[in-house]
Amino acid sequence: MSYNPTFIDLLKSPVLLLAFGFGSGLSSKAPGTVGSLLGLVIWFFLAKLSLPVYLVFVAICALVGVYICGSAAKRLGVHDHGGIVWDEFVGLWVGMAGLSVSWASLLLGFGLFRLFDIWKPWPISWIDKNISGGLGIMLDDIAAGLATAGTIAFLKLLGWL
Protein backbone atom coordinates (compact mmCIF):
# COMPACT_ATOMS: atom_id res chain seq x y z
CA MET A 1 0.00 0.00 0.00
CA SER A 2 1.46 3.34 -1.00
CA TYR A 3 0.77 6.75 0.45
CA ASN A 4 1.80 10.35 0.03
CA PRO A 5 3.50 11.66 3.14
CA THR A 6 2.80 15.05 4.67
CA PHE A 7 5.38 17.55 5.87
CA ILE A 8 4.63 16.37 9.43
CA ASP A 9 5.52 12.81 8.31
CA LEU A 10 8.83 14.13 6.98
CA LEU A 11 9.60 15.90 10.24
CA LYS A 12 9.03 12.62 12.10
CA SER A 13 11.39 10.65 9.85
CA PRO A 14 14.91 11.84 8.98
CA VAL A 15 15.00 9.33 6.10
CA LEU A 16 11.81 10.70 4.55
CA LEU A 17 12.95 14.28 5.19
CA LEU A 18 16.16 13.65 3.23
CA ALA A 19 14.51 11.50 0.54
CA PHE A 20 11.92 14.21 -0.08
CA GLY A 21 14.61 16.87 -0.34
CA PHE A 22 13.72 18.70 2.88
CA GLY A 23 10.13 18.96 1.64
CA SER A 24 10.77 20.01 -1.96
CA GLY A 25 9.53 16.61 -3.17
CA LEU A 26 6.10 17.33 -1.68
CA SER A 27 5.35 19.72 -4.55
CA SER A 28 2.10 18.70 -6.25
CA LYS A 29 3.50 19.83 -9.62
CA ALA A 30 6.83 18.54 -10.99
CA PRO A 31 8.44 17.43 -7.70
CA GLY A 32 11.58 16.29 -9.55
CA THR A 33 12.05 19.74 -11.03
CA VAL A 34 11.35 21.45 -7.71
CA GLY A 35 13.81 19.09 -6.01
CA SER A 36 16.39 19.81 -8.72
CA LEU A 37 15.92 23.54 -8.15
CA LEU A 38 16.69 23.10 -4.45
CA GLY A 39 19.65 20.93 -5.45
CA LEU A 40 20.84 23.81 -7.63
CA VAL A 41 20.66 26.20 -4.67
CA ILE A 42 22.70 23.75 -2.59
CA TRP A 43 25.16 23.33 -5.50
CA PHE A 44 25.81 27.07 -5.42
CA PHE A 45 27.45 26.52 -2.00
CA LEU A 46 29.05 23.16 -2.87
CA ALA A 47 30.74 24.70 -5.92
CA LYS A 48 32.98 26.67 -3.55
CA LEU A 49 34.63 23.41 -2.42
CA SER A 50 37.80 22.14 -4.07
CA LEU A 51 37.01 19.57 -6.76
CA PRO A 52 38.38 16.58 -4.77
CA VAL A 53 36.35 17.52 -1.67
CA TYR A 54 33.28 18.15 -3.85
CA LEU A 55 33.60 14.73 -5.50
CA VAL A 56 34.03 12.93 -2.16
CA PHE A 57 30.97 14.75 -0.79
CA VAL A 58 28.88 13.80 -3.85
CA ALA A 59 30.09 10.18 -3.68
CA ILE A 60 29.11 9.96 0.00
CA CYS A 61 25.70 11.49 -0.80
CA ALA A 62 25.26 8.92 -3.58
CA LEU A 63 26.13 5.98 -1.32
CA VAL A 64 23.93 7.25 1.51
CA GLY A 65 21.24 7.95 -1.11
CA VAL A 66 20.99 4.26 -1.99
CA TYR A 67 19.85 3.62 1.58
CA ILE A 68 17.72 6.78 1.89
CA CYS A 69 15.85 6.29 -1.39
CA GLY A 70 15.45 2.54 -0.97
CA SER A 71 14.20 2.86 2.58
CA ALA A 72 11.76 5.65 1.67
CA ALA A 73 10.42 3.72 -1.33
CA LYS A 74 9.91 0.62 0.78
CA ARG A 75 8.16 2.60 3.52
CA LEU A 76 5.90 4.28 0.94
CA GLY A 77 5.18 0.99 -0.83
CA VAL A 78 6.31 2.06 -4.33
CA HIS A 79 9.39 1.48 -6.49
CA ASP A 80 10.27 5.14 -6.99
CA HIS A 81 7.79 7.61 -5.49
CA GLY A 82 7.77 10.85 -7.50
CA GLY A 83 8.43 12.85 -4.35
CA ILE A 84 11.74 11.11 -3.65
CA VAL A 85 14.19 13.73 -4.92
CA TRP A 86 17.47 12.96 -3.11
CA ASP A 87 18.49 11.23 -6.35
CA GLU A 88 17.83 14.48 -8.26
CA PHE A 89 20.13 16.34 -5.86
CA VAL A 90 22.98 13.90 -6.42
CA GLY A 91 22.42 13.52 -10.17
CA LEU A 92 22.45 17.28 -10.64
CA TRP A 93 25.62 17.59 -8.54
CA VAL A 94 27.30 14.93 -10.70
CA GLY A 95 26.35 16.88 -13.82
CA MET A 96 27.60 20.18 -12.40
CA ALA A 97 30.93 18.85 -11.06
CA GLY A 98 33.80 21.18 -11.84
CA LEU A 99 31.64 23.98 -13.25
CA SER A 100 32.18 27.50 -12.04
CA VAL A 101 29.20 29.43 -10.75
CA SER A 102 27.71 31.49 -13.58
CA TRP A 103 24.31 32.02 -15.14
CA ALA A 104 25.43 29.93 -18.11
CA SER A 105 26.46 26.97 -15.95
CA LEU A 106 23.30 27.25 -13.83
CA LEU A 107 20.98 27.26 -16.83
CA LEU A 108 22.89 24.76 -18.96
CA GLY A 109 23.56 22.29 -16.15
CA PHE A 110 20.02 22.43 -14.81
CA GLY A 111 18.43 22.31 -18.27
CA LEU A 112 20.52 19.40 -19.52
CA PHE A 113 20.08 17.43 -16.31
CA ARG A 114 16.29 17.82 -16.38
CA LEU A 115 16.26 16.91 -20.09
CA PHE A 116 18.21 13.68 -19.53
CA ASP A 117 16.30 12.85 -16.33
CA ILE A 118 12.89 13.26 -17.97
CA TRP A 119 13.71 11.97 -21.49
CA LYS A 120 15.76 9.03 -20.18
CA PRO A 121 17.68 8.06 -23.33
CA TRP A 122 19.51 4.72 -23.30
CA PRO A 123 21.23 3.62 -21.02
CA ILE A 124 19.33 5.77 -18.49
CA SER A 125 16.02 4.16 -19.50
CA TRP A 126 17.53 0.68 -19.17
CA ILE A 127 18.79 1.46 -15.66
CA ASP A 128 15.40 2.91 -14.69
CA LYS A 129 13.54 -0.22 -15.87
CA ASN A 130 15.98 -2.94 -14.82
CA ILE A 131 17.65 -1.99 -11.55
CA SER A 132 15.38 -1.89 -8.54
CA GLY A 133 15.56 -0.59 -5.00
CA GLY A 134 17.59 2.31 -3.77
CA LEU A 135 20.42 1.50 -6.17
CA GLY A 136 18.13 1.80 -9.18
CA ILE A 137 16.56 5.01 -7.90
CA MET A 138 20.02 6.57 -7.53
CA LEU A 139 21.71 5.15 -10.63
CA ASP A 140 19.36 6.51 -13.30
CA ASP A 141 19.84 10.05 -11.96
CA ILE A 142 23.60 9.58 -11.64
CA ALA A 143 23.58 8.42 -15.27
CA ALA A 144 21.59 11.55 -16.21
CA GLY A 145 24.21 13.58 -14.35
CA LEU A 146 27.03 11.84 -16.24
CA ALA A 147 25.23 12.53 -19.53
CA THR A 148 24.94 16.18 -18.49
CA ALA A 149 28.64 16.42 -17.60
CA GLY A 150 29.60 14.64 -20.84
CA THR A 151 27.48 16.96 -22.95
CA ILE A 152 28.95 20.04 -21.26
CA ALA A 153 32.49 18.68 -21.76
CA PHE A 154 31.71 18.02 -25.44
CA LEU A 155 30.35 21.55 -25.90
CA LYS A 156 33.53 22.93 -24.29
CA LEU A 157 35.67 20.75 -26.59
CA LEU A 158 33.86 22.24 -29.58
CA GLY A 159 34.58 25.70 -28.23
CA TRP A 160 30.90 26.52 -27.78
CA LEU A 161 31.37 27.24 -24.07
Asked, for residue 133, whether it belongs to a domain, the answer is yes
Percentage of the chain lying above the pLDDT 90 cut = 94
Asked, for residue 1, whether it belongs to a domain, the answer is no
For residue 64, the model assigns a pLDDT of: 98
Instruction: Dump pLDDT digits (tens) for 89-135.
Output: 999 999 999 999 999 999 999 999 999 999 999 999 999 999 999 99
Asked, for residue 120, whether it belongs to a domain, the answer is yes
Domains held by the chain: number? 1
Enumerate residues 6+ apart whose C-beta is below 8 A from 51: 97, 98
**Which H or E run contains 41?**
helix 31-46
Domain that holds residue 72: 7-157
Report the 3 state secondary structure along 86-124. Answer: HHHHHHHHHHCCCCCCCHHHHHHHHHHHHHHHHHCCCCH
**Cα–Cα distance for residue pair 147/156, rounded to 1 Å:** 14
19 closest CA partner among 59, 60, 66: 66
Asked, for residue 31, whether it belongs to a domain, the answer is yes
Asked, for residue 2, whether it belongs to a domain, the answer is no
Mean pLDDT of the chain: 96
Asked, for residue 86, whether it belongs to a domain, the answer is yes
Asked, for residue 40, whether it belongs to a domain, the answer is yes
Asked, for residue 115, whether it belongs to a domain, the answer is yes
Amino acid at 79: H
